Amino acid sequence: MFVALIALMYFMMIRPQKKQQQQHQEMMNALKPGDEIVTIGGLHGTVSEVDTTKNIVTIDCDGVYLDFTRSAVARVLKKASEKTTETKETVTTKETTTVVEEETTTTDDSGKEDK
């Protein structure tokens, strides 16, 4: 009975936890520049650089670069290859400015015209 309880505990608790740890480790090993991630603190950013020797990942958050340990990455939102490329189309038009000279004529009370 005691052995059955230990076996049940192993299959219900320990084995799924090890599987989850292994998946997280594989995710951290697969990080590469361009991946969009979320840290364990909730910070969203794009991976700028991965240093496997120091175990550090540099994240670009709208121009602010932050260094974190790779284990601080909670999940990957989009892989770099899955991103859609945006194309911007620029239309240039030439504008011409025409200067119009006006000649004005004023009339004073006496009926004479001034130019």
Domains of the chain: 2-83 (2.30.30.30)
Structure tokens at 114: 């001034």
pLDDT recorded at residue 81 = 73
3-state SS, residue 31:
coil
Tens of each residue's pLDDT in the chain, 115 residues: 888 888 888 888 888 899 999 999 999 889 999 999 999 999 999 999 999 899 999 999 999 999 999 999 999 998 877 554 454 555 556 666 666 666 666 665 665 655 5
Strand partners, 114: 106
d(C-alpha 106, C-alpha 43), whole Å: 71
pLDDT at 7: 85
**What are the backbone dihedrals phi and psi of residue 75, each rounded to the nearest 5 degrees, phi first?**
-160, 160
Q: Identify the pLDDT of residue 53.
A: 92
Asked if 27 and 35 touch (Cβ cutoff 8 Å), the reply is no
* Full 3-state SS string of 39-64: ECCCCEEEEEEEECCCCEEEEEECCE
Q: Is 72 helix (H, G, I), strand (E, B) or coil?
A: helix
Tokens of 67: 């260094």
